A and B are shown apart, each in its own frame.
Chain A
């Protein structure tokens, strides 16, 4: 049993004396993130509200510097919480030492103890808890079994590969049977193939050990495949919380829409029109009436006609034989992916990506296009995402 409640958690990194001066002098040349800066310091995480159910797998995802690690480290107890309240199982733990929070963490850099063997690494947290030898042995062996590292128990971490080290790091975390298992980009030091493999292992691991997970990544594939719910963050703020399907189908704003999904969603400058109580979008001579559920959402919010940013995912763009009521695009690059082709094209002044299968259902090859060719594109009313000028999804 371990439910977590994060209530308005905020983290302010105070300015250090040197930093302030340096920043003023340099005039802040590098600015990767747009974190809010106050007199007190840099606000790395703001008003983080999240209720995590017992045994839920939560993924925090977002671009570099958005405050994912900071949030995780506050839950772990490695960073002081500047504001807000953190409850584990209903108990306020803001000022509780990490060892009494019953959490374990897996670091990106593994952070194994180099002078201890794999066995000793995994036994270490248990020894500190003065557990008896037989029980330690049982738990270490069991975890090693789960993670398939039994044959390396006598080795030092130096003699292991990256993937094996990561397993040991996970092993060290799970032997304690913690209430909450925190992972900070555990796979980002591995090569692509191993990462895919370990991702599957983590899914399996989750079925074997029953605990609450909070997993940090900047990789949206990991987020989509692992999470029960995803928390998308930017500049210290939560952008959206939802299941992978929810955030994919109903992104709350342009940022989420662009962040989730590969290749990225296409965006167009378009008009939202209302006629006879029906909403439609029109972009570059192409007018599409929105689907019934979208109509209902927009009507419920009494959204007026306005200029909008229209989002359509690449796989939802359809090639049309006719040229009436379509969006014309000129092909710039065609990437052959095997079963599909990605066309990078220019339509209505914006770059778009269109994914087209190379074969139709009957196995007939579809005509391919070359640089400079014109495409006639359409899309249905159910795949349109309409964002207002402030970037928010108008359906919300």
Chain B
């Protein structure tokens, strides 16, 4: 008797859980669906009050218009390069700095690590003006380097990898040292390979952040040919103040590579996010 009622209540819980999850999923998915539907509407229909859900007259010309108004190939390329270099830099420098903070003893270590922590806890927006001035003074505005610039070192990455290196027993490093490794060999032959999961997580994190970064690319690169997908799309709003269907079509095009990548790397992606404890 008791057992049966327990089972029943468990079943009821499962049902509730599912209802909650389905509701959540609907709320999350709705903007995407709306985006797809809007991208297929005509301009007048997209502005109708009350709004229609399904397009009364379906058109696909919005996609063509979006491609005409933006140099999409360039944007893909710029975004790709920015992500690539930011990931490389974040992984390389965060690994080295994280290793040093976790494994080495040196003067001023506490102070320097404090600086990293402070930087991590400040919003990145407050650095935009000085960073812009630095890039501009170097005469490197409107370049791929400018896009990569704020991502060359990542305070979060340093902190995150330091934690990872702290978790590796000191004896492994000592064994490597006794086996004849130099400090550098200990790092790249023995220690770095042990941080695979964290490096993967940092890669995903950096890539997603870079992809969705809007403010910096908009500030630093004003030439449309040097823009990223996100900043390029933002200009659409200026040119066609009200052309939502084209904007939505452009956004869909911009999302495409990320969605494909996500589908391929779904498992690593979820593990990565879970292991950083972020979002």
Chain A residues in the interface with B (C-beta under 8 A): 76-78, 98-99, 103-105, 107-109, 111-115, 124-125, 128-129, 172, 176
Contact = CB atoms under 8 A, between A and B. Distances in A.
Given A115-B193, A115-B194, A128-B185, A78 B180 contact: no
Nearest to A114: B194
Contact of A105 (B178, B180, B190): B178
A125 B194 CA distance: 18
B259 interface: no
Contacts of A76: 178
A314 B193 CA distance: 55
Contact of B175 (A107, A115, A176): A107
Among A77, A111, A115: residue with most chain B CB under 10 A: A111
A99 B190 contact: no
A78 B175 CA distance: 10
A60 B165 CA distance: 32
Among B171, B180, B181, B194: residue with most chain A CB under 10 A: B180
B178 A104 contact: yes
A125 B180 contact: yes
A128 B180 contact: yes
Contacts of A176: 179
Contacts of A172: 175, 179
A78 B194 contact: no
Contact of B171 (A77, A98, A99, A111): A111
Given A114-B194, A128-B180, A129-B180, A105 B175 contact: yes
B247 to A, nearest CB: 48
B108 interface: no
A99 B181 CA distance: 8
B169 A109 contact: yes
Contact of B178 (A103, A114, A129): A103
A78 B169 CA distance: 15
B169 A124 contact: no
Among A103, A113, A114, A125: residue with most chain B CB under 10 A: A113
5 contacts: A78-B174, A103-B178, A111-B175, A114-B172, A176-B179
Contact of A98 (B169, B178, B193, B194): B178
Contacts of B176: 113
A160 to B, nearest CB: 16
A328 B160 CA distance: 68
Nearest to B169: A109
Contacts of B18: none
Is the contact region of chain A dominated by helix, strand, or loop, or is it mixed?
Answer: loop
B32 interface: no
Contacts of A105: 174-175, 178
Interface residues of B, number: 15
A128 B176 CA distance: 10
Contacts of B174: 78, 105, 107, 111
Contacts of B175: 105, 107, 111-113, 172
Interface string B171-214: 11011111111000100001001100000000000000000000
A383 B190 CA distance: 55
A112 B185 CA distance: 16
A76 B179 CA distance: 11
A124 B178 CA distance: 11
A128 B185 CA distance: 9
A186 to B, nearest CB: 12
Contacts of B194: 114-115
Nearest to A107: B171
Nearest to B176: A113
A360 to B, nearest CB: 52
A78 B177 contact: yes
B190 A113 contact: yes
A42 B177 CA distance: 26
Contacts of A98: 177-178
Interface in B159-174: 169, 171-172, 174
A142 B169 CA distance: 29
B108 to A, nearest CB: 13
A179 B218 CA distance: 64
Nearest to A108: B171
Contacts of A124: 179
B181 A128 contact: yes
Among all A-B residue pairs, the 4 with the closest Cβ atoms: A111-B171, A125-B179, A99-B180, A111-B175
Contacts of A128: 179-181, 185
B172 A111 contact: yes
A114 B175 CA distance: 12
Nearest to A104: B178
Contacts of B180: 99, 125, 128-129
A386 B148 CA distance: 79
A80 B172 CA distance: 19
Nearest to A100: B180
A66 B24 CA distance: 60
A78 B105 CA distance: 13
A99 B194 CA distance: 23
A159 B39 CA distance: 54
B175 to A, nearest CB: 4
A78 B172 CA distance: 12
Contacts of B178: 76-78, 98-99, 103-105
Contacts of A115: 193-194
A109 B174 CA distance: 12
Nearest to B193: A115
A78 B90 CA distance: 31
A124 B180 CA distance: 9
A111 B185 contact: no
